[in-house]
Chain A
């Protein structure tokens, strides 16, 4: 243990003296600090802008004049996906998915306005976020600083000298791991600090922040141990360096793209237009409100008339047209829900395939931890879509309720032809304020924690595998030194 400490200290002293190592570490710290600061600032600004948009949209809705309620159904509303408190650490899917959803009657729109369509194509090369710096850049720096830690000793013959003076191969490997681990720790500091500050500002997020911090720590440790083991196993320094760069390239660059490509093929998704058209066709099968003889709406009418013991819709105690609207909306909404479940199932399967592949690349696992922890993963987006649809349905049905209860059937039927009737179908503006505001219920911290559990486990498995490799490399090192 003491000897390992000495070896670690000697290695660190060497790194401090070597200007290249120092420049590398400083550059990494600088980049992560810039990334943390800009990403945090950008997400904070985005958060405010979406909040402002939401407030303004809601205010506009409430400020609409007296109108026919169906006009309000078509006027609709916008909802903006709020940004979680930890999104500054890892914006995740936020820039790659629509953030704005237009809610209106009869239709389910897609989430539009995404950063990726507003940015230059440079964005597709990667974004400078704390997560990116830690997941992609930090391992490369650790490789550069660590690949020759043991091959160098062997090449110079100092390994034999060390072993003959009573130092064990285990001491050497542990000492070098300590040294490279301290560099890893330094690399982690900006990210951990950023997470700590976020947790401080938002104590309910402390658990999620800790989970992300843990994931990042495990990830860095996996690299540290793996690099030391590679340095012990490789015949030459350049052999170690080349294989490590190759592994890095696979883990951090190739695997994420390959996994996405594989997932999109194993679980293909229909285009939005196809789904829309399928829904339309199915809707027409169920009930066509444009067809006066449609069996579904005819049955509905008969049922309503029977319920109220009347023979004509004009005799109903409410506006039958409003009731039809509500029934039609319920019908379409059921289909929207059904197809949304299909879409969400496929997308979740895709994401599960990607996380399953994290057995091939710890970068996928750590990305999963940080996106799930920060609430910037697919799950958050799907929830947003689902809750928005629920809100849309509630809003439209509230308005359809007004349509049914507050309007006179005869006026309503004549409103396109008769100006006076049209005026009478307008209901007071104070009704609009009673539409409930959209309140996004994000995944709770506890849910995010449990979602991050599986990838944390994968990372632990990776770490375990690296430790086994390190122990094995100790034997190899002992054998080779003789």
Chain B
């Protein structure tokens, strides 16, 4: 340990190293600050939507006095609050809405809604802590490591250092440890600061910290391996930068091309269109047949009296649900295709530890694709809850009171 402290002291005497580490600390702190602000903004936007929705609902309640109208006009907010660690890995939250207002109508036409984002801003990706960790920290490690051996060789010191007894224990490992230790403590401390402010759980914070150390450990190994070789300092720097470039930019982009080619998915537009056809065809086909199909799914309402008029709400909601039913195989295949792509990306990540670590960060922060699927699942479950809440009023002629309007199920977020 004495040797590590000495080497830390030694390292901080070198101006370039101090600059590199200070820059990393600054960028990490900036990313955490931006992340915390972004999470606060997302939460504020959610509260705003919930508050505005309350007013909207109150206005609807004035005229929507029967269950059919209420279910038709009333939007129910759903939202996906960011986890306590989302600040550090904003992940995919910028490309999918984190609030979605849904109605008890066919869901397939509603669930693919997009956020009103400026796509030019989504294009480069987020400046979050995960970015600083995955992209920038390795480059700082490269700067600290590339001439660890070659620099001593070029300055003519290598043989005298090798002549030190237990040189590995007293010089090289302490030097490696000092670099790894300084960079990781800077990042971990900055991250912990953010985690403390956002009130993240201990378990997740520890897991996140372990991933930070794993990533820096991986790059430390690579950098040590290259630096220990016979190359000159500039060669080592170029080799390390190339490895970084290939692992963090080229390999994922190339793999993505291959995965997409190998994993076709159904056309998303076709699902929405099919759903529309299924829903709208109902107007032109035998209404009783539609209802009978619905009763097969919900036999408890089969005793509902036959339709008296060309338009009745119960028939309307029946065909809405049947429309969803009809595209379910397509919709399932669509999702399965995307999940499959993500699974294959997981295989790629096995070969590329930084990718695997980023995925794990997003996973823990609940900002990855599977978190989006979880949100969609909750929306789907809630939608079912919602429409089945209205069914008794529509099919069993249960009177719909003002209290019933208020008693509609509310969305429970994660």
Contact B56 A277 (CB under 8 A): yes
Interface residues of B (CB under 8 A from A): 16, 27, 34, 37, 41, 45, 48-49, 52-53, 55-56, 59, 62-63, 77, 91-92, 95-101, 109, 112-127, 131, 135-136, 139, 142-143, 146-147, 233-234, 237-238, 241-242, 245, 248-250, 252-257, 259-260, 265, 267-270, 272-273, 276-277, 280, 283-284, 309-311, 337-338, 341-342, 344-345, 348, 355, 358-359, 362, 368-369, 372
Q: Which residue of B lies closest to A340 (CB)?
A: B116
Contact A80 B269 (CB under 8 A): yes
Contacts of A471 in B (CB 8 A): none
With A121-B92, A253-B135, A272-B97 as given contacts, are A241 and B234 in contact (CB-CB < 8 Å)? yes
Given A238-B147, A260-B124, A419-B309: 18 more A-B contacts, CB < 8 Å: A71-B280, A92-B120, A112-B112, A116-B95, A120-B256, A121-B345, A121-B358, A124-B92, A127-B253, A140-B242, A144-B241, A147-B234, A249-B139, A256-B124, A263-B118, A264-B118, A281-B52, A351-B120
Among B59, B113, B358, the residue within 8 A (CB) of A112 is: B113
Contact B53 A277 (CB under 8 A): yes
Among A124, A137, A238, A268, the residue within 8 A (CB) of B245 is: A137
Among A57, A111, A140, the residue within 8 A (CB) of B114 is: A111
Q: Which residue of B lies closest to A53 (CB)?
A: B269
Check A11 for interface membership: any CB of B closer than 8 A. Answer: no
Contacts of B237 in A (CB 8 A): 238, 241-242, 245
Contact B116 A110 (CB under 8 A): yes
With A38-B257, A276-B101, A419-B310 as given contacts, are A120 and B52 in contact (CB-CB < 8 Å)? no
Q: How far is the CA of A49 from the CA of B109 in the complex (A)?
A: 20
Contact B34 A144 (CB under 8 A): no
Q: Which residue of B lies closest to A248 (CB)?
A: B241
With A97-B119, A276-B101, A417-B310 as given contacts, are A117 and B127 in contact (CB-CB < 8 Å)? no
Among B269, B276, B309, B359, the residue within 8 A (CB) of A121 is: B359
With A128-B253, A378-B120 as given contacts, are A273 and B97 in contact (CB-CB < 8 Å)? yes
Chain A: minimal CB distance from B346 (Å): 8
Chain A: minimal CB distance from B83 (Å): 17
Contacts of A241 in B (CB 8 A): 234, 237-238
Q: Which residue of B lies closest to A66 (CB)?
A: B284
Chain A: minimal CB distance from B54 (Å): 10
User: What would be 17 A-B contacts, judged by CB atoms less than 8 Å apart?
Assistant: A56-B273, A78-B272, A102-B276, A110-B116, A118-B338, A120-B259, A125-B253, A126-B252, A128-B256, A137-B245, A140-B245, A238-B237, A260-B123, A271-B97, A273-B101, A381-B119, A419-B310
Contacts of A290 in B (CB 8 A): 63
Contact A96 B119 (CB under 8 A): yes
Question: Which 9 A-B pairs rank lowest in CB-CB distance, beginning with the nearest?
Answer: A120-B345, A125-B252, A93-B119, A256-B124, A97-B119, A277-B52, A422-B310, A416-B311, A113-B268
Interface residues in A253-272 by Cβ distance below 8 A to B read 253-254, 256-261, 263-265, 268-272
Among B45, B56, B268, the residue within 8 A (CB) of A280 is: B56
Q: How far is the CA of A132 from the CA of B372 in the complex (A)?
A: 28
Q: How far is the CA of A371 from the CA of B121 in the complex (A)?
A: 13
Main secondary structure of the interface of A (DSSP, over half): helix
Interface residues on A, range: 35 or more
Contact A238 B233 (CB under 8 A): yes
Q: Which residue of B lies closest to A54 (CB)?
A: B269
With A80-B269, A261-B34 as given contacts, are A354 and B254 in contact (CB-CB < 8 Å)? no
Q: Which residue of A lies closest to B337 (CB)?
A: A118
Contact B127 A126 (CB under 8 A): no
Check A350 for interface membership: any CB of B closer than 8 A. Answer: yes
Contacts of A246 in B (CB 8 A): 139, 143
Contacts of A280 in B (CB 8 A): 56
Chain B: minimal CB distance from A264 (Å): 5
Check A475 for interface membership: any CB of B closer than 8 A. Answer: no
Contacts of B63 in A (CB 8 A): 290-291
Check A31 for interface membership: any CB of B closer than 8 A. Answer: yes
Contact A65 B242 (CB under 8 A): no
Among A93, A112, A261, the residue within 8 A (CB) of B126 is: A261
Contact B269 A78 (CB under 8 A): yes
Among A57, A128, A238, A258, the residue within 8 A (CB) of B254 is: A128
Among A276, A281, A347, the residue within 8 A (CB) of B118 is: A347
Contacts of B99 in A (CB 8 A): 271, 273
Q: How far is the CA of A358 from the CA of B56 in the complex (A)?
A: 43
Contact B310 A350 (CB under 8 A): no
Q: How far is the CA of A237 from the CA of B92 in the complex (A)?
A: 40
Chain A: minimal CB distance from B91 (Å): 8
Chain A: minimal CB distance from B214 (Å): 18
Among A123, A257, A343, A418, the residue within 8 A (CB) of B124 is: A257
Contact A257 B125 (CB under 8 A): yes
Contacts of B284 in A (CB 8 A): 65, 67
Contacts of A415 in B (CB 8 A): 310-311
With A110-B114, A126-B249, A268-B41 as given contacts, are A102 and B272 in contact (CB-CB < 8 Å)? yes
Q: How far is the CA of A346 from the CA of B242 in the complex (A)?
A: 39
Interface residues in A109-155 by Cβ distance below 8 A to B read 109-114, 116-128, 132, 136-137, 140, 144, 147-148
Chain B: minimal CB distance from A24 (Å): 8
Contacts of B242 in A (CB 8 A): 140, 144
Contact B113 A242 (CB under 8 A): no
Q: Which residue of B lies closest to A128 (CB)?
A: B253
Q: How far is the CA of A429 from the CA of B163 in the complex (A)?
A: 94
Q: How far is the CA of A245 from the CA of B99 in the complex (A)?
A: 41
Q: How far is the CA of A269 from the CA of B234 in the complex (A)?
A: 46
Chain B: minimal CB distance from A421 (Å): 8
Chain A: minimal CB distance from B97 (Å): 6
Check A189 for interface membership: any CB of B closer than 8 A. Answer: no
Contact B268 A350 (CB under 8 A): no
Check A300 for interface membership: any CB of B closer than 8 A. Answer: no
Q: How far is the CA of A43 from the CA of B96 in the complex (A)?
A: 23
Q: Which residue of A lies closest to B150 (CB)?
A: A238
Among A119, A140, A259, A269, the residue within 8 A (CB) of B241 is: A140
With A113-B269, A264-B118 as given contacts, are A274 and B283 in contact (CB-CB < 8 Å)? no
Contact A377 B120 (CB under 8 A): yes
Contact A271 B342 (CB under 8 A): no
Contact B265 A118 (CB under 8 A): yes
Among B118, B147, B241, B280, the residue within 8 A (CB) of A245 is: B241
Q: Which residue of B lies closest to A264 (CB)?
A: B121
Check A204 for interface membership: any CB of B closer than 8 A. Answer: no
Contacts of A254 in B (CB 8 A): 27, 127, 136
Chain A: minimal CB distance from B351 (Å): 12
Check A311 for interface membership: any CB of B closer than 8 A. Answer: no
